[in-house]
Amino acid sequence: ELVHAGLRVVRDASCSVQYRGQVVGTFVADLLVEDRVLAQVVASPELGADHRVETLRGLAAGDVKVGLVFNFGAPELSFSRIL
């Protein structure tokens, strides 16, 4: 749907994690939309703090300001917006 709406979407987008100017790892985002929104998709009984922390790390690695975590593992879809 995002692509159909004309948005640029990258699946499994790799972002370098840097510490003091050195690349120390890689973060892989499920979706990166318009280089502005990072989306993570999880399947867990509940959306936990660990999912939010992982998304925060991705925001820092990708120099992105907005993150969304979607949980399809619960009886009802849940999500969290991370700024």
- The confidence score (pLDDT) of residue 71 equals 94
CB < 8 Å & 24+ apart, contacts of 2-9: 2/31, 2/33, 7/33, 7/34, 8/33, 8/34, 8/35, 9/33, 9/34
- The confidence score (pLDDT) of residue 29 equals 92
pLDDT in tens, 20-46: 889 999 989 999 999 999 999 999 998
